[in-house]
Amino acid sequence: MGGTFDPIHHGHLRSAVDILDAFQFKTLRLIPCYQPVHKGEPSVSAEQRLKMVELGIQADSRLHVDAREILREGRSYSIDTLIQLREELGQEEPLIMVVGMDSFLSLPTWARWQELIDVAHILVISRPGWEPDFISALESFYEKHRAESAAELQCAPAGKIWMQSFTPLAISSSQVRNLCRKKASIAYLVPETIQRFIEANSLYK
């Protein structure tokens, strides 16, 4: 699961845990980007975003942080990351890219987007406020690769798209940043450890 994580919040974390439980996956990697391709510059440094992901995942040992995009620097293209992961995992291991519905809707704007499915499956998770209204290029891509069941994601290394709804949490990083700017509380939107880190480092003022 890639993201800007500016900052990580309970919408990310609950989705990650829901996925692990639903699919019985061994691990889920959260991969903070260095420079997002489709958003403006993050509000805080890559190191601070990475630190917050590390703090956020502490409650579940199945969650891992993968700093490869930050170490790579430059613009963070998902296709580069997936190709690198595929090389490390070998050709047979299922690899699944997790994206929220909002991200999936923007897929046709991503670099080499049609190649993503050659390297990994795509698991699209629901997000409050976002419906699967696909433009035609995405609709045909989805129809071509749609899995018949979730189990298909674990039967082949790549090539299938599956959509699934989990605990709907209408939380976003921009909402957290806006509340901080207004000096309003961000309690219960992010883990306490992250709330403390944001306060201690005077982030998002």
User: Under the rule (CB under 6 A), what is the footprint of ligand ATP?
Assistant: 3-6, 11-12, 15, 99-100, 102-103, 125, 127, 169, 171-174
Closest chain position to ligand ATP (CB): 100
Reported as type and span, the H/E element at residue 140 is helix 136-145
- 126 or 155, CB closer to ligand ATP? 126
Shortest CB 129 distance to ligand ATP, Å: 9
127 vs 160, beta carbon nearer ligand ATP: 127
Locate all alpha helices (DSSP H) within 57-191, ordered by sequence.
Answer: 68-72, 78-89, 101-105, 116-119, 136-145, 173-181
Give dist(CA 132, CA 99) in Å, integer.
Answer: 13
Q: How far is the CB of 163 from ligand ATP (least distance, A)?
A: 12
Strand partners, 2: 31
Q: Which is nearer to ligand ATP, 1 or 158 (CB)?
A: 1
| Nearest residue (CB) to ligand ATP, 126 versus 148 | 126
Calpha distance 70→49 (Å, rounded): 10
Quote the least distance from Cβ 138 to ligand ATP, whole Å.
15
Give 87 or 107: the residue with its C-beta nearer to ligand ATP.
Answer: 107
| CA 153 to chain CA mean position, Å | 17
**Three-state SS for 177?**
helix
Cα–Cα distance, 154 to 160 (Å, whole number):
10
Nearer to ligand ATP among residue 19 and residue 147 (C-beta): 19
Minimum separation from the CB atom of position 78 to ligand ATP (A): 10
Q: Across the strands, what pairs with 65? A: 30
Amino acid making up residue 132 = P
| Token code pair at residue 141 | 């891509």
Nearest to 171 by CA among 196, 152, 200, 191: 191
CB of 2 to ligand ATP, least distance (A): 7
Q: How far is the CB of 102 from ligand ATP (least distance, A)?
A: 5
